[in-house]
A and B are shown apart, each in its own frame.
Chain A
Amino acid sequence: MRTVGWSNAVTFGRLTGFNLRHLARSPLFLILVPAATAVVWLTSHASGLPTMGELFNEAVLCAAGVGAAMFAVTTFPALREVRYSRSMALPLSPGARLASLALASITLTTALMCAVLTVFVVTAPAPIAGTPQPAAFVGVVVLGWAGPMGAVASVAWTRSYAPLIALTLLLPLYLSSSLLALGTRTDVIVSRMGSLLSMALQPLPISYPDTATTALLYLAHAVSMVLCAGLLTLAARHDTRFLRPVGLAVTTVVLVGMAALHVHAQREYSYDALSANARPRTPSTGSCHGLDDMTYCPLPGYESWVVFWHADLEPVLRNLPEDVHRPTVWQANHTLRPDILFHPPDDGIVLTEYWRPDEETHRARLRSELVAHVLGMGRTDDRGYVGTGQARTVIGAWLVAVEGEGTEAAEWFLLDFAPGRDDLRLTHALLALPEEQVAAVVHEHWDVLMSSTTDLATLAELLGLSLTGPEAIPEPDWERSTLDPGFIDDQSTPPDGT
């Protein structure tokens, strides 16, 4: 029967082509797919410096949107095969016809997802930073297949439109419950449903599987989901005696495997697990980049960001005496450099991959990290350090905001060190002076000014300013400040040098 086998293969191929054309021309497809794509497009966070993590999130959103649309689109022809074509004595078996439909539907889903992602990559304003993990992206595409495969499986079991109707009703119910059920017991159910959906889309407790292992785990999760749908479709057949129990048994095994994968991922990659496993180590700077006197160690794929970091730090660097030790700038995240992230090296500052060079808050934070480090004030996220009344606190605020960044960046810096009214007043006064004048004093009196015992009056005097008396510098312009005077008064405590 080799001829019949070949003939069946040809018919299968032609039927798949037929299904492909009919799916792509179905009114539901023509409405839902552009709608889903538009939702993905509108909810995407367009960024000037896109990352692989963003591309991955975009892909996951796309998988959810396109997968849901294809679930609806595939339900109708699936019902055609399950309910309407059974009595027609057609040459291909119902199973083969369903398989052909599933193949056509996942081909279309793949093409749509690839198109959306290609548009994202092609229209990206800059090269996408980060480590591409093909397995992770293949995993997302496979995850999108769960939509059409789920439609085939659910229709094979119910032989009706019930799954589509249920999904259509559940979505607005879920959205409205999210708002209406707050604080009630229903809220818990709604929240669990949301968690299940999130877990299906992103089973790992990290935003982007950027290592080969995590990418493979993600792929395994996606393949398992699609496999479950396929096995459930097989198990829905009632014309053979053994397929149903075998199909259901294997599905159970795959589901158990998925649960085990989830537990393993939580154990290995949760924030708590990664921080507990991280060890203080002296990192190698072999792959780091030197620029002027600075050393930058970006994560793989983020090399293009070094120039942005350096451009941000340059105003600070040029106002530092030459003999001041420059720290190494490390970029780290939970999976690629957990040791550095959780145990920052003494001579380095650490920024995560979320610190974006195109966002003002992150740029100010980077400068703050550098300034706090060179001034010996510890890391800005080490809360509790009180720098009130110290000259170096004000110098730090000035350094952070020296190049036309306004008072906002300076105030953000001050906020980490419990500033008082005088700190703020003097900072504003320094920023009003010419840069060269302040820079000259900083260079000349660096050692004195860096001491935790040097107070504001000393700094003011060096600059020819006064905090008291008739020549006293004015109060901060609270109208223009981002800080509240009451908050500042609560914060300020006498300097203790700690």
Chain B
Amino acid sequence: MTTTADPTGLTGGVRARGLVRTYGTRRALSGIDLDLGPGVTGLLGRNGAGKTTLLRCLATDLEATLGELSVLGLDPERSGERTAIRRRLGYLPQNPSFYPHFTAFGLLDYMAVLKERGGRRERHEEVRRALRGVDLYDRRHTRIRRLSGGMRQRLGLAAALLGDPRLLLLDEPTIGLDPEQRIRFRDLVSELAVHSTVLLSTHQIEDVAALCRRVLVLDQGRMIFDGAPAELVARARGRVWEQGARPPAGVTSWRLADGRYRVLGPAESDVPDAVDRVPVEPSLEDAYLLLTGSVPR
């Protein structure tokens, strides 16, 4: 149980024990144990690993089949507490589909009303602030159907950031953002994470590397790693090389800009010898690929 102090009286963070979610006979989550507190936590995993299901459970959009879950110190299975969680929650779902006839301002105003953000003037001020935060203020009167994919993603982010959320759940938030916007996004999330809990599900490993003090890796509904990014990188040390010759089939590798190959292997002895092979410092991405079994073990 997390115990972060919160001026609203709610307790911050997330606590899950033995969380299971099934779809028919398929287990999307298999006994997840999790404690989350303030700061940004990255959630990595291949497609279908269970990341979105976990986020939806934490966002109270989906009920867990088994297990215990406490979000901001409240039980999401109880209707009244679920509503209280949702008021203090910022949630950006994967591929959010917004009502296309809303203007950017209209959507955020609607969300702010539902999050009970004070009177009209105060609410509108907050909506304007959120729009400025994602650089959409100039497009506030544009209907959503006329916004580009990246703008919609930023709008979704602004909606999630409304109301100073105690828990921010972001599912693939940087898809479609240009580098400048991604940096802006990182800045926003870092600032918020000083006093809020942020869980960031992404395939953009550089975002995790830049933002997260902690990384969770899911694979087939199970948590296979929970630790600092540096710890994950450390595990990959000695298993990443660069070489001139093309590695044999079955070895994960890719051609670099200078024509050499970057090779990931389970152990040095398992990779066929190459004359110009040079061990290199693994990146977080290398470490993640090695962990999730994208290379032969």
Contacts and interface: CB of A to CB of B under 8 A. Distances in A.
Interface of A: 1, 4-5, 7-8, 10-11, 14-15, 18, 22, 76-77, 79-80, 83-85, 87-92, 97
B116 A5 contact: no
Nearest to A87: B93
A28 to B, nearest CB: 10
The 3 closest A-B CB pairs, nearest first, are A1-B80, A80-B99, A4-B80
- Among B100, B106, B116, the one with the most A-chain Cβ atoms within 10 Å of its Cβ is B116
A92 to B, nearest CB: 6
B96 A5 contact: no
Given A7-B87, A87-B93, 9 more contacts: A4-B81, A7-B84, A14-B116, A15-B110, A77-B99, A80-B102, A87-B97, A89-B61, A91-B87
B114 to A, nearest CB: 5
Contact of B106 (A22, A83, A90): A22
Interface residues of B, number: 30
A367 to B, nearest CB: 62
Nearest to B123: A14
Contacts of A88: 91, 93, 96, 111, 159
A85 B99 contact: yes
B114 A87 contact: no
Contacts of B60: 89
A404 B159 CA distance: 79
Contacts, number: 67
B86 A89 contact: yes
Contacts of A18: 109-110, 113
Given A14-B116, A84-B97, A91 B83 contact: yes
Given A88-B93, A89-B59, A89-B89, A4 B116 contact: no
A85 to B, nearest CB: 7
28 contacts: A1-B78, A1-B79, A4-B83, A4-B84, A7-B87, A7-B116, A11-B113, A11-B114, A15-B114, A18-B110, A18-B113, A77-B99, A80-B101, A80-B102, A84-B97, A84-B98, A84-B100, A87-B93, A87-B97, A88-B96, A88-B111, A89-B59, A89-B61, A89-B86, A89-B89, A89-B93, A90-B86, A92-B114
Interface in B56-103: 59-61, 78-81, 83-84, 86-87, 89, 91, 93, 96-102
A355 B159 CA distance: 65
Contacts of A84: 97-100
Contacts of A76: 101
Interface in B102-136: 102, 106, 109-111, 113-116
A91 B59 CA distance: 11
A444 B81 CA distance: 99
A83 B115 CA distance: 20
A91 B115 contact: yes
Contacts of B159: 88
Nearest to B91: A89
Nearest to B94: A87
Nearest to B95: A87
A131 B79 CA distance: 51
Contacts of B101: 76, 80
Contacts of A90: 86, 111, 114
Contacts of B113: 11, 14-15, 18
A304 to B, nearest CB: 49
